[in-house]
């Protein structure tokens, strides 16, 4: 491992080290990590200055900058325009590799029925947003925090009607149906199997429960995770928020000579 804190308590308060850019594969979440969270996903904006740093890092790391997000691939590209970075979208169910080739699993057959059931179940719940995705459905309750338990029960019930097709993924003020067995940890491992990244050390930054599997995968491969924001995490290092991460990415860019 590149660096390891002496204890979990010291880890959660310590800033992450700057790894060797020539040996690093950088994996980044979007919402809450590169960009501040908003009431609705459509309101999220990645600062232009952060996009510029990502572009320079993509050059400095010879393409080894990968986005891992619950968003769709097209949604990632829209936020990071004009960049077209490699990604593991939909929690890794859709990947664009370093050559630009897209790899995508088939949608669960029960997805249309699950979406309709969630829409019907949440009808009349003011502030609850049902977000259809290409391979799943997210139900957000950020604008209706008192509905969290009800949303959880609804999503679990719908998943149970389609046994073996979906996992229920909790997150920050959201519960999501995603394809069974898909997570960001698996996506990171798949990217690291590629010849371009095989000799590099993965560093993963993320803010939510969805990122924990990727933190674990990075650490298994000799790298480390960076927890962005508050909350328990297995990641050994922490930054306070997207602005703090942007500064760290800028410092890594400077270390690379760009």
> Helix axis angle, 184-192 relative to 212-220, nearest 10°?
30
- Neighbour tally for 143: CB within 10 Å: 13
**Which residue in the block uniquely carries the two structure tokens 């990415």?**
249
Burial (0-12, 13-18, 19+ Cβ within 10 Å), 183: buried
The verdict on whether 29 is a catalytic residue reads: yes
Kind and range of the H or E run holding 250? helix 242-256
Kind and range of the H or E run holding 11? helix 8-13
CB of 180 within 8 A of CB of 108?
Answer: yes
- Catalytic annotation, pick one of 29, 183, 208, 211: 29
Active site residue ranges: 29
């Amino acid at each position: 491992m590149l660096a390891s804190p002496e204890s979990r308590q010291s880890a959660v308060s310590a800033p992450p080290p700057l790894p060797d850019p020539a040996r690093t594969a950088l994996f980044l979440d979007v919402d809450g990590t590169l960009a501040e969270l908003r009431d609705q996903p459509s309101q999220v904006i990645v600062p232009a200055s952060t996009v510029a740093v990502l572009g320079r890092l993509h050059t400095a790391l010879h393409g080894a900058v990968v986005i891992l997000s619950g968003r769709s691939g097209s949604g990632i590209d829209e936020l990071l325009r004009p960049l077209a970075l490699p990604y593991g979208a939909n929690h890794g169910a859709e990947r664009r590799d370093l050559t630009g080739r897209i790899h995508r699993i088939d949608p669960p057959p029960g997805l249309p029925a699950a979406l309709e059931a969630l829409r019907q179940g949440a009808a009349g719940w003011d502030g609850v947003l049902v977000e259809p995705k290409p391979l799943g459905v997210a139900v957000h309750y950020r604008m209706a925090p008192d509905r969290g338990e009800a949303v959880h029960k609804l999503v679990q019930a719908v998943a149970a009607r389609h046994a073996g097709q979906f996992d229920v993924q909790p997150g920050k003020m959201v519960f999501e149906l995603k394809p069974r067995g898909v997570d960001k940890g698996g996506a990171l491992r798949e990217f690291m199997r590629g010849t371009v990244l095989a000799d590099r050390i993965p560093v993963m930054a993320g803010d939510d429960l969805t990122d924990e599997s990727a933190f674990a995968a990075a650490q298994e491969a000799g790298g480390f995770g960076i927890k962005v924001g508050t909350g328990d995490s297995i990641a050994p290092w922490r930054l306070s928020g997207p602005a703090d991460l942007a500064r760290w990415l800028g410092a890594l860019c400077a270390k690379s000579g760009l």
